[in-house]
Structure 1
């Protein structure tokens, strides 16, 4: 039985309600990662939080690639998605003690998600002899090998667990770069994958919304549990403004231009892999760290924060802006100088952290974000006054002339 997504000529492919339902689990997962980082503001805690985030992201990311091609109206696909959703929820429940007593639940759920999904693709979704089955079998092979390391790591303690899990994570993240090469088999080409650009880009945009929504949840939950004075209310407002600024920076024009670049690319699979699969997780990490910083500022608005807490407040927005610059570099071949300067500005603001209360520090970070947004708006206004096309108009003009894109 063919489970490929049905395609109608001239009809755009959008995210389905099943995919949106599936995403609900990852609101909880992102919240769990944020709490893990907040409770362990040490280098070890940062490393653990990063590893957990990369696992959560890899689980969601592969499902997005799969649903980009599968027909989510098929009953078997729906059952697969609901099963993956339950396993993802179990994985998320285990996150706070992922490196302690719930290591096996965390690793076992993740392995079951990745291996189970690709068993379905290899033996149920696609017919014998098809390139899709061959492709799914290659991916399954990589996940089985990595899965042995994940489970082995869960069964040991201490540094051995970390070493085994880092090795497993390295295998997971290297696999797409080598297109799931298996010794003795011919190499796959990027064209083996079909990327429906509108659906694909929308799914990653929605995950950014999930991460931003998690910051709103943390902001509201933290504030509701504390006594409210003018300083805390000001910190609450600043947290919201920071989240709104991050939304603005991504959805003002970055999302549209990136989607169009992907659509026009001659090597769509590689661009989608690099720009979305790898670089978007840096944006999500920046949002999560920023959410933790917001929670600290709301909790202690009048106090001078400790150095690890200062680092969190400035590093979140800084990492987010840096990820944007890297994303632009990969998608367009040029650097976003204003966002790079903004990232440097966030780090520079950190130098004032030991001298000012948390509320002032948060205000300085917002000033940097506002400066980036304002400078880009001013540049756009000046471009319009000179009669120059917008970046999206230039892209469309190049496409009409038949010029190649990245």
Structure 2
């Protein structure tokens, strides 16, 4: 039965409707994470939100790696994904009180997601003595070790919880880098993973859409709660333009670059997928989440100067987003993007000026920086094309 649960040899399969349905839970989880930061705009709140976001990301990310191998049309796989979806929903419900009364629900459901999924991958979806069982079993062992720390942290209080959860997160994040080393058995060879490039890249692109969609939801919900005078309407326009610029910067450039790199990576595909998607896309999504919080801050106080925590959040979102794209470019090509590196510096300047500017002006300047990068990308692509390609593109336009 094990081999029949896996995808067929055609690795060009696209994302299924069940996977899209599964992602709906993470729309809610991302919204909960944004609200957590919005309600705790302090360095402690930012650190706690970062941990929560990485937990959300890690549970979704490994489900994506698993579904890159499993066939979502088969009943056992469908049941697995639906159960994981329910557990993910309970985890998302617990996010606002993850550091309070719902710590055990938050950590317990996260651990259950990881153990159930890779228990299924190890004992149901892989046969005895196979490479797939060996690989999934290693991951399961690491999740079990981290799970003890997650549950212990949930049962502890104060600084003890923080320390235990940070150590648990280090174990979780360190597993792929260590290639799931086990005593006496060494590391798992990178070639043990079979990554379907088209499906894998599309899944991560769709998660970026989820995160961007959350910024639209937060913008609309915040605007609906305020009187729509000229300043508020302008702030809505600026917030939407910011989200549109984030979309443009990713899907007109980075998405194409990363998918192309994954297709052409050959024997190095697993390592490329790990670095670009598992790790660097987490920074990208964090930039989107923080940008959503910054948009809400501007919408709530468009004509007022922002206090330092709100100003930092407003500027940090675009910076994190551009930094992630810069690092993805570095991993892909070995060079940084001059436009994005310059734009990061420009955002820092906006942050310095923001102490003397109203929130709406800060938001508008950040949008101008993002639009400038997008415009430069478009100009550069056209400039590097030959006359025939430019003429074809003009006809399409």
The TM-score with structure 2 as length reference comes to: 0.95
1:250-399 residue pairs with structure 2 within 5 A? Answer: 250-266=250-266, 267-384=268-385
Which ranges of structure 2 fall in alignment gaps of 5 or more residues?
Answer: 391-397
Where does residue 108 of structure 2 map in the other structure? 108
Partner residue in 1 for 2:394: none
- Cα deviation for residue 65 of structure 1 reads 0.2
1:325-353 CA deviation, whole Å, 9 max, x = no partner? Answer: 00111122221110111111111100111
For each residue in 1:163-203, what CA deviation from the matched residue of structure 2 results, as whole angstroms up to 9, or x when unmatched?
00000000000000011010011431111000000000000
- In 1: Cα distance, 2:187 partner to 2:100 partner: 40
Q: Deviations over 1:42-73 (max 9, x none)?
A: 01000000000000000000000000001111
| Contact preservation (8 Å) 1:289, 1:312 | yes
Q: 1:386 to 1:67 in 2, by over 3 A?
A: same
- Is 1:196 the counterpart of 2:213? The answer is no
Equivalences, count: 387
Aligned mates of 2:378, 2:71 — CA distance in 1: 41
The range that moved more, 359-368 or 327-336, is: 327-336
How far apart are 1:378 and its partner, in Å?
A: 2.3
> Which is further off, 311-320 or 271-280?
311-320
The C-alpha deviation readout for 1:12-41, integer Å capped at 9, x for no partner, is 211100100000000000000000000000
Contact 2:12 2:197 in 1 (8 A): no
The equivalent of 1:7 in structure 2 is 9
Q: Distance in 2 between matches of 1:381 and 1:119?
A: 50
1:56 maps to what in 2?
A: 56
Task: Determine the C-alpha separation between the residues in 2 that align with 1:59 and 1:85.
Answer: 10
Question: How far is the alpha carbon of 1:257 from its aligned partner?
Answer: 2.1
Shift of the alpha carbon at 1:129? 0.8
Query: Could you tell me how far 1:119 is from its partner in structure 2?
Result: 1.0
With 214-223 and 118-127 compared, the bigger mean Cα shift is at 118-127
1:283–1:320 Cα contact (<8 Å) kept: yes
Gaps of 5+ in 1: 390-406
Give CA-to-partner distance per residue, 1:342-397, whole Å, 9 cap, x none. Answer: 111111100111111101111110111111112222222332368899xxxxxxxx
- C-alpha displacement at 1:6, in angstroms? 1.8
Q: For residues 289-314 of structure 1, what are the alpha-carbon distances to aligned partners after superposition, in whole Å with 9 as ceiling and x for unaligned?
A: 00000001111101111011111111
Q: Give the match for residue 128 of structure 1.
A: 128
Q: Runs ≥4 in structure 1, deviation > 4 angstroms?
A: 385-389
The TM-score normalised by the length of structure 1 is 0.93
Describe the superposition over 1:88-114 as per-residue Cα deviations: whole angstroms up to 9, x where unpaired: 000000000000000000000000000
Task: Give the conservation status (yes or no) of the 8 Å contact 1:261–1:332.
Answer: no
Aligned-partner SS, 1:298: helix
Q: How does 1:11-30 map to 2 (within 5 A)?
A: 12-30=12-30
Question: For the Cα contact (< 8 Å) 1:179–1:188, is it kept in 2?
Answer: yes
- Looking at structure 1, the residues matched to 93 and 230 of structure 2 have their Cα atoms a distance apart, in angstroms, of 36
**SS of structure 2 residue aligned to 1:279:** helix
Whole-angstrom CA distance in 1 between matches of 2:82 and 2:385: 49
- Aligned 1:93-242 pairs, distance under 5 A: 93-242=93-242
Summarize deviations over 1:137-168 as a string: whole Å, max 9, x none. Answer: 11111011100000000001000000000000
The 3-state SS of whatever aligns with 1:5 is coil
**Coordinate RMSD, CA, aligned:** 1.3
Asked if the contact 2:29–2:56 (Cα under 8 Å) also holds between the matched residues in 1, the reply is: yes
Query: Post-superposition shift, 1:246?
Result: 0.3
Distance 1:78 1:251 in 2: 30
**Displacement after TM superposition at 1:212 (Å):** 0.1
